[in-house]
Structure 1
Amino acid sequence: MVVGDFALELDTVVIGAGPGGYVAAIRAAQMGQKVAIIEKEYIGGVCLNVGCIPSKALISAGHKYQEAMHSAIFGVTADNVSLDFSKTQEWKNNQVVAKLTGGVEFLLKKNKVEIIRGEAFFVDENTLRVIDGDHAQTYSFNHAIVATGSRPIEIKGFKFGGRIIDSTGGLSLTEVPKKLVIVGGGVIGAELGGAYANLGAEVTILEGSPQILPTFEKDMVKLVEKEFDNKGIKVVTKAMAKEAVDNGDNVTVTYEVDGKEEKVEADYVMVTVGRRPNTDDLGLEILGVEMTDRGLVKVDNQGRTNVKSIFAIGDIVPGAALAHKASYEAKIAAEAIAGEPVAVDYRAMPAVAFTDPELATVGMTEKEAKEAGLNVKASKFSLGGNGRALSLNQTEGFVRLVTTKEDNVIVGGQVAGISASDIIAEIGLAVEAGMNAEDIALTIHSHPSLSEAVMDTAELALGMPIHM
C-alpha cells in the first residue's frame, strides 16, 4: 500500500470489524480473495466490546451473586456474602472481552486479512480513503462489504453525559447503583435491568409499549414480569419519558403515564430505546447507494446494493439488529462476491433475551403461521415435567413447537426457561431442515437433560406424550 492517490488493489475491503465485518473478512479470505478490514475503534465491534458479550458477563456475575445468597434450598448457606464490583468489571474486561477480541484479531491475521486502523470514506465505487488522525491513505478495491453496525439512539430530554448514560455506559459503571432507571424495556433494557437487580440495585424500567419485551409472546413475557416482581423491579408500561435532569450526585427522571406526570430519582438513568444505523459519514450518498427512510441500506438477497461493487450487512440493512444475523449475512456476501450461488434465508433466525428466565424464539409463532395461511397447532410442554430442570430448581418455563396439522412439520418454536438460548438451537435446526415432530421424537435425547423437553413437546404434538 502507498500513501496518496494510488494504492495496490484489493479484491475485497470490509468496513467494520464487528460480528458481521470480521466474519465477512475471514470468509472472503477463505474463498481466495485478498482482503483488508478497516476499523476505527473496536476489533470485535460493539457486540464483543460493549454489547452482547460484556452484558452476558454481568448477567452471569449477577446470577453467581444471587446463588451465593440464596441456595438454602440445596442445603447450602454462606455467611457474609459480598460483591466487589471492581473485580467483576476487571474479570469482564480482561478475562472475557480482551480474550475474545484478541482471539478475533488473531483469526484475522491467521487468515491473512490486513487490518487497517482508521475511518473509511468512499471516493467512488472502487476507491476509498482511510483517515487515521493526520494520516490519510487511498485504497482501490473490486468489492466492498460495509458492516459499520449501529449506535444507541439519543432521545429528546435525555442528552448523554454524566449520569444520563447509554447501554455502553451502563456496562462500564464503576459501582452498582443503589437506584437505576432504565428508559426502554426491550431486550437490552430488560437484560441489564435484571443484571443490575441481581447485583443489588433498585431498578425501575419505563417502557412505552403495553408490555416489556414487546417482540416476544405474552405468555413468555409474563414469566419475566413475575421474576422482575420477585426481584423488586418496578416496571411502568405505556410510559412516555419526558426529561432527565442531572443533579450532580443523582438524576431526576420525569415521565408521563395516562396523562399524569411522575418523577423518580436515581443514581443513573440508562436509555435503551433502540439503535441507529451507522450509515452517515461514509460517502454512500456520493455513490448513489439507495437507502430507506430510516437510513438503512437497501440490499438484495446476497447483500448487494444497487451499486454492483458495494455490499452491506448487519445492523445497517433491514431486519432485526442481531449479531448472529450479521455473521450469517457476512458469509452470504463474501461467498456471493466469490461467485457462489447463495442467498439469505431468514426462516430459522433465532432471537434470544437473556433475562430471568431466558426467552428464545425461532421460525414462526402460531399467530404468524396462521397469518401466513398455514393450518397449524401449538404444543406446549412445561419444564416442571423435566427431571433436569427439577434438579436445577429451575422449573419456570416451557417449550412450545408450532407444527402443521396435516404432516406435523415444525415451522417454529419458543422456549422460556433456563438455557433457552441453547435449547432453541435444536428447534432452529428442525425448522431449517424442514423436519417434522416425528424426527425429533425418534431422536434419542440424553437423560436427564433440558433438551428432553423438546422431545417431550414433539411427542405431545404427535398426540402421544409420555410425561404429561
Structure 2
Amino acid sequence: MVVGEISQERNLIIIGGGPGGYSAAIRAAQLGLTVTLIEQADMGGGCLNNGCIPSKVFAHAAAKLSETAHLNSLGIGSSEMIFDFQKLSSYKTNIINQLRSGVESLCKENKIEIIRGKATFLSVDKIGVENGHQFDIYTFEQLIIATGSNPITPDVRKEKDPRFLLSHEIYKMDKIPEHLIVRGQDYIALEIASSFAVLGAHVSVVIDGKIGLPFDESLNKELTRLFKKRKIKMYKEVDFIAKHETEEDITITFISDRNEVETISGSHLFVSEKRKPNLEELGIIRFGIELTEEGFIKIDKDMQSSIPSIYAIGDITGGPMLAGKAIKQGKAAAASIVGTQTEVDLTFMPVVAHTIPPVVSVGLTEQNARDIGLDIRVSQFALGGNGYATITGKKDGFIKVISDSTTEIIQGIHMIGEGAVEMSGSFVQLLEMAAKEEDIIFPHYAHPGYNEGLLEVVEGLVGQAIHTSPMKKKDLTKIS
C-alpha cells in the first residue's frame, strides 16, 4: 500500500454516491461549494444498481405484459404474447448503465471531484481513502455521510444459496422462478410478488405475525382481492416454524391464521430483510458520534450530527429507508452548510408500491383518524366509474379520501389503480397545504383523465359525485 505523505485539504467531502449523496453534491456545487464525492462502488448506490431502478424495470415489464388482453381488444398484437427474460435482463442492465452514466456526467458538469475508494475516519476532521494499493489522506471543513445501509441476513439463511434471495439479489437471477415464495409485507415484497406473478412465476406470499399489509384497510382488502385474481396465494398472520432445503426445492413450515400447521415448497424463497447502517467500517463511532437507540446516526433538523462538522443523510440516519427521503435530506444538508434555513418534514412522505395496479398512501388512514378521535368524512370512488380508466382498460381500484368533518381539511388520500404514482405528488401537495374540500372541488380537471377521480371522490364526501350511484337509505359520507 502506498500511503500519501501529505494530507490534502478539501472544502466539502461527501462519502457515498447514492441518490442522497450525489444530490447533496450537486446542490452544494450549485450553492458555491467545492465538492469532493467519494464512492467505493458504482455511482447511484444501491437504489440505482440493485433496488429502485431494477425493480421498476421489472414492474414496468410486468405491467405491459398484463395489458395483452386489452391490446388485443384494440386490434393490436397477436393472440400470443412472447416474453423473453434475457432481453428484459439486458434492458435492465442498459437502463442502469444509462442512468449511472447520467449521474456521473452531472457530477462532472457541476465540477464535482469524484474519488474512487473506501473512506475511513482518521479523526473528526480527517479521512483516509484506500483504493487498491493507494491510500490518500484528506482533511475537510465539512463532511456529509451518505453511505446507506446493508441487509441483515435473516437467521433462516445459514449459508449462501442462490435460491434464497434478498432484495439486492432477486433482480439478478438468470431466469423466472418456477414457484417463488415471498416472505414479507412491505412495498418491496408486494412489488416482487406482483411483478413475478405476471412474468410467469407461481407466487405465494407469507406474512408473519399480526403485521398485515401496510396501507389503509380498504386498500389492503382490494390489493388482496387483486392478488387472488392473479392467482397469488396469500397466507396472513402466520407464525413461522422452520425452513428446509433439498436439491429440488425450499420448504417452509408455519402455523396459519386458522391455527393449522401448513407447508409450502417452492423453487425460490425471497425474504424482506431488516437493514443496518453502513457505519462500522467508516470508523466514525470511535470518535464519539451520537447514535440513536437503533444504532443509526442521530441528526438534528439541519442533518447535523453531534460532531458539528459532520452531517448525515439517508438510510444511515434511520427512519423510512427511501431514496426520496435521502434526496430531500441531501439537498437540505447542503443548504444547511451554507447557512440557508431549511426543513425536512417526513409527515406526508408517500408510501408507494409499484404493484399492478400501483398503490399510494399519503396522510392518515381511516383507522389512524379514528384512533386520534377525529370526526371524519370518508369517500371512495371506484375507477370503474372513470371514463378514461374504461378507455384504457385500467378499471381496477379506487381513490379514497379522509376529511375532517369539522374543518373540512383533507387528512389522507389513498389510491390503488393506474396513475396512482403520478398523482401522488398532487396528493402530497394538498396535504402539505392543509387543503380543504373546496380547494379540490374548485379547480378544472382535464377530461377524460384519471385525475377526475380525485374530483369525484371529494365531491362524494358530500354525496355529490356525478359518476357514483346515489346512496340508499343511509349517508355513508359522515363517519364519526
Q: TM-score, normalised by structure 2?
A: 0.91
**Aligned mates of 1:282, 1:150 — CA distance in 2:** 12
- Deviation of the 1:463 alpha carbon: 5.2
- Where do 1:291-440 residues align within 5 Å? 291-372=291-372, 374-440=374-440
Give the whole-Å Cα distance in 1 for the aligned partners of 2:11 and 2:402: 44
Q: Output the CA distance in 2 between the equivalents of 1:328 and 1:372.
A: 29
Measure, in 1, the Cα distance between the counterparts of 2:106 and 2:199.
34
Q: What displacement does 1:383 show?
A: 1.4
Distance in 2 separating the partners of 1:273 and 1:208:
13
Alignment partner, residue 269 of structure 2? 269
Helix, strand or coil: the match of 2:8?
coil
Q: Check 1:371–1:263 CA distance in 2 against 1; reply closer, same or farther (3 A cut).
A: closer
Which 10-residue stretch deviates more, 427-436 or 244-253? Answer: 244-253
Q: Distance in 1 between matches of 2:333 and 2:445?
A: 36
- How far off is 1:465 after superposition? 2.9
Work out the CA distance in 2 between the residues paired with 1:363 and 1:70. 34
Which amino acid letter does the alignment assign opposite residue 401 of structure 2? L
Per the TM alignment, residue 63 of structure 1 is displaced from its structure 2 partner at its CA by: 2.2
Look up the match of 1:145: 144
Identity of aligned residues (%): 34
Q: 1:70 to 1:439 in 2, by over 3 A?
A: closer
Give the secondary-structure state (helix, strand or coil) at the position aligned to 1:425: helix
Q: 2: distance between equivalents of 1:110 and 1:461? A: 50
Q: Equivalents in 1 of 2:372, 2:345: separation in Å?
A: 17
The letter of the residue matching 1:143 is Q
Does the 8 Å contact 2:11/2:35 carry over to 1? Answer: yes
Summarize the Cα distance change of 1:211–1:385 in structure 2 as closer, same or farther, 3 Å threshold.
Answer: farther
For 1:153-192, what aligned pairs fall within 5 Å after superposition? 153-159=152-158, 160-192=160-192
- Structure-2 change in CA distance of 1:5 and 1:439 (3 Å): farther
1:130 maps to 129
Question: Alpha-carbon deviations, 1:394-434, whole Å to 9, x = none?
Answer: 22222222323233222321111112111121111111223
Greater CA deviation, 408-417 or 252-261? 252-261
Contact 1:383 1:453 in 2 (8 A): yes
Q: Residues 209 and 383 of structure 1: is their aligned pair in 2 closer, same or farther, counting only changes over 3 Å? A: farther
Q: 1:70 to 1:375 in 2, by over 3 A?
A: closer
Aligned in 2, Cα 1:9/1:243: closer, same or farther, shift over 3 Å?
A: farther
**Contact 1:438–1:459 (CA under 8 A) maintained in structure 2:** no
Partner of 1:285: 285
Separation in structure 2 between the aligned mates of residue 110 and residue 124 of structure 1, nearest angstrom: 31
Q: Within the alignment, does 1:120 sit opposite 2:119 as a pair?
A: yes
Q: Counterparts of 1:269 and 1:198 in 2: how far apart (Å)? A: 17
Is 2:167–2:273's contact at 8 Å kept on the other side of the alignment?
Answer: no
**CA shift digits 1:8-44 (9 cap, x unpaired):** 3222111111111111111111111111111111211
Residue-pair matches, total: 465
Structure 1 residues 298 and 383: alpha-carbon distance in aligned structure 2, compared to 1, 3 A threshold: same
Report the AA paired with residue 130 of structure 2: I
**What is the rounded CA distance, in whole Å, between the counterparts of 1:139 and 1:285 in structure 2?**
19
Q: Are 1:103 and 2:107 matched, yes or no? A: no
* Residue type at the aligned position of 1:35: V
Moved more, 128-137 or 376-385: 376-385
Structure 2: stretches of 5+ with no match in the other structure? 469-480
Whole-Å Cα distance in 1 between the matches of residues 111 and 338 of structure 2? Answer: 17
* TM-superposition CA deviations, 1:36-83 (whole Å, max 9, x none): 111111211111111111111111112222323565554556234322
Aligned partner letter, 2:49: N
In structure 2, how many angstroms separate the alpha carbons of the residues matched to 1:330 and 1:242?
42
Per-residue displacement from partner, 1:175-205 (whole Å, max 9, x unpaired)? 1111111221221111011111101101112
**C-alpha distance in structure 1 between counterparts of 2:376 and 2:146, whole Å:** 38
CA 1:199–1:287: 2 relative to 1, 3 Å: same
Deviations 1:58-109 (A, max 9, x none): 1111222232356555455623432211111001111x21111111111111
Cα pair 2:70 2:393 within 8 Å, conserved: no
